Amino acid sequence: MTIGSSLALVDRFNGTSVARPLGSWLMSEHGCISYFQRPPGKYRISLDVEEYTRLLLKMLLSNNLPFSLVESDSFKQFVLFLRNEVPDISRVTLRQKLDEVFKVELHFLRQKFAENTGLFALTMVEWNSGKNDNFLGITLHFYNNLFQLESYTIGFESLNRKLAHTREEVNIYQYLMDVLKDLGIDKRIFSITRNNASRMNDAMKLFSDRLSDQGITFDGDIPCVANILNLSIDAFLKNTFFRSSSSDTFEQSIQDVLEEHPQFEQLARRMKFLPYKIRSILVQIRYNPDMRNTFKSLVKENTVQQSTFRDADQLLRDPDTRWVSTYHMIDRFLFFREEIMNVLRMTHDESNTYFKDHEIIEEDWAYLETVRDILETFRLSTVNLQASSYSTINETIPVIYGLMKSLNSAHFTKACEENPYISKGVAEARQTILQYYPIYGESISKNKMLYLAIVLDPRYKLAIFDNIRGLKHKIDAIKDSFYEMYDVYERKMVKVSDSLVPVVSDPLNPPDDQFSFIGRYEKKDQGHEIDRYLREPREPGDQDIIAFYKSRKRMFPVISSMARDVFAACATTAPSTSLFSLIGDIVTQKRNRLLPGTIKIIAFLKSKGIINSEDCSDDILGSRLMIKNWVGLTIMLL
């Protein structure tokens, strides 16, 4: 079935059934959004097969149900009970319909991207579903011609299936280029924010080499700052025994510390056992009914003021994923120190040696506070850089510098002096960060885009480097790179302006809006655009930087064009990573028969909110959501 195939569609405005090409109907009513989000059609004596197919497809996608459901005997019996002339619809038909609608959406995207005069930023990350299935997620971001941020999912590939069919090594670069060429934007990529996997490194090298062969230097390879901070935290947690490591090298390094500081042998034993103690105590409180009830009653009696993530229920829930779970576990454990100790005392007796072996002394509590404070420093840095609704690329270097400064603070320095394991953990964490962000070195080439983003922030400009002692020596290199980037954009704007010169009735007095770029040369007496920008006072800290460039576009046309591309770049791969929480339920072992193309389409629909997942749990709210979804289909059939 083609996009333009004629289908019986119901005109929702006058209630009459008309035959219209699906493609033209979708294009006139906003594509996938109108197809999936319009309300159910009214009851008709004759069954509207197209509307029935639409509602059925929406129900399956919203509830992560397999397409094979429509071919099951029980489903057919249910449908025939409601209306006996309903035709059989196969899973193949549903896939064809989904492909048909998505092709129209791709047409919209190609047209939208072609009309955009700026460049595009990507995020790209590889993810393992837990069933030996690896997926590659790609999202695209840009500020449109009105300086409004737009984001799209453009890729979601099952890498393992590709490997199984071709028997060749997975080439992430080739897949990336296939996606970009299909959308007509393979020569318009400004930046790629990605994780640090080895295959991703190989892909980025190939991408950079391709541009280098064309005489273009690609400075937009941006490591995900959250990924780098995770590596740094992992080094710290290993050295404080909250993360296990079977590496012989690591074990030898721990032994070296003990040989150098033999007086800490007893402390080392307690530190190694402490994470196990904490988790064991929490398991007992969480799953022992008597201890759980005692703990909750003590919390209620104390009626302490609690933060949003330190309540009693949070302590007893399963922890979050990744290192944040360790942070929350320690933080809650410290917050409920008094209640936990009271529970242990109340359940202690002479015959029970369990809690005697799990006793936590004052020295342990002090150690936990230090570990928590260091993790808190990392947590705040990560949170500040993971926003997706506004630019954070300009905050990366300041946040990294602030983090390094905190790790060198007197408080943490004292803790390092008192505990060689904390000292080793902090040192390795700092070393990991500096490997990717060499902020104290002379060169800016490794993070050039991050430095340019700071200069483009009207609240910072170059002046911020005068105030940061460790970065002051980079000012000349940053300023030179800023001028180089400006020259590239100026040549581009002149070229575009020359190719778009309009015909006017009075060539001696052209309208300002038609020759806005030429207006820049009228300000020659005011100096270079960059000099004027840097001379202006910095904006206040609460200034919206995008609003600034919207209002000053005529004053700073070239710099505004630069800012538009730079601020579309992402500091983290959070946009791509968030795809996996949306798609996780549909790539389970039970549903692994979905075709890769179908998975990609579903990822696109869910990421844009065109299809919203509905909770099918047994609770009241979940039941209502599922019932609501079935009602639309049932009304159609009755």
Does one domain contain both 432 and 294?
Answer: yes
Amino acid identity, residue 551?
A: S
Does one domain contain both 408 and 523?
Answer: no
Does one domain contain both 76 and 38?
Answer: yes
* Rounded mean pLDDT, 142-160: 88
Angle at 586 between CA 589 and CA 632, to 5 degrees: 135
Does one domain contain both 120 and 21?
Answer: no
- Structure tokens belonging to residue 145: 């011609």
- Structure tokens belonging to residue 628: 């609501």
Task: Report the alpha-carbon distance of residue 199 to residue 191 in Å, rounded.
Answer: 18
Does one domain contain both 219 and 234?
Answer: no
Distances (CA, A) of 33 to 51, 102, 108, 437, 597: 15, 11, 12, 42, 19
Domain final position from 388, 417, 436: 436
Q: Lowest-confidence range among 2-6, 228-232, 343-347, 576-580? A: 2-6
pLDDT tens column, 168-205: 556 889 989 999 999 999 999 999 999 888 889 999 99
The top-scoring range by mean pLDDT among 231-235, 266-270, 336-340 is: 231-235
Burial zone of 497 (CB within 10 Å; 0-12 exposed, 13-18 middle, 19+ buried): middle
Does one domain contain both 411 and 350?
Answer: yes
Query: Positive or negative, the Cα torsion across 332, 333, 334, 340?
Result: positive
Does one domain contain both 96 and 22?
Answer: yes
Taking all residues of the chain, what is their mean pLDDT, rounded to a whole number?
A: 78
The verdict on residue 489 lying in a domain is yes
Does one domain contain both 202 and 244?
Answer: no
DSSP H helices, 144-187, are 159-166, 172-183
The verdict on residue 110 lying in a domain is no
The verdict on residue 608 lying in a domain is no
For residue 632, how many other CB atoms are within 10 A of its CB?
Answer: 17
Does one domain contain both 394 and 520?
Answer: no
Residue-wise burial string across 267-298, b where 16 or more C-beta atoms lie within 10 A, e elsewhere: bbebbeebbebbeebbebbeeeeebbebbbeb
Angle at 167 between CA 202 and CA 140, to 5 degrees: 45
What is the residue-wise DSSP string for 557-617?
HHHHHHHHHHTTS-SSSHHHHHHHHHHGGGSSGGGTTS-HHHHHHHHHHHHTTSS-----S
Domain final position from 401, 436, 471: 436
Q: Is residue 120 classed as helix, strand or coil in its secondary structure?
A: strand
pLDDT over 90 for what percent of the chain?
Answer: 37
- Structure tokens belonging to residue 288: 């022992």
Does one domain contain both 382 and 242?
Answer: yes
pLDDT tens column, 85-122: 777 778 888 888 888 888 888 898 999 999 999 999 99
Higher pLDDT, 461 or 634: 461
Cβ atoms of residues 147 and 158 within 8 Å: no
In total, how many domains does the chain have?
A: 4
Q: Lowest-confidence range among 43-52, 514-523, 555-564? A: 514-523
The verdict on residue 609 lying in a domain is no
**Which range marks the domain in which residue 93 is found?**
6-100+614-637
pLDDT above 50: residue 618: no
For 189, phi then psi, to 5°, come to: -95, 125
pLDDT tens column, 381-429: 888 776 656 788 999 999 999 999 999 999 999 999 999 999 999 999 9
For 214, phi then psi, to 5°, come to: -95, 10
Q: Lowest-confidence range among 204-213, 318-327, 379-388? A: 318-327
pLDDT above 70: residue 345: yes
For 155, phi then psi, to 5°, come to: -155, 135
Identify the residue whose tokens are 């790539």.
587
pLDDT tens column, 478-487: 999 999 999 9
Does one domain contain both 167 and 214?
Answer: yes
Does one domain contain both 209 and 286?
Answer: no
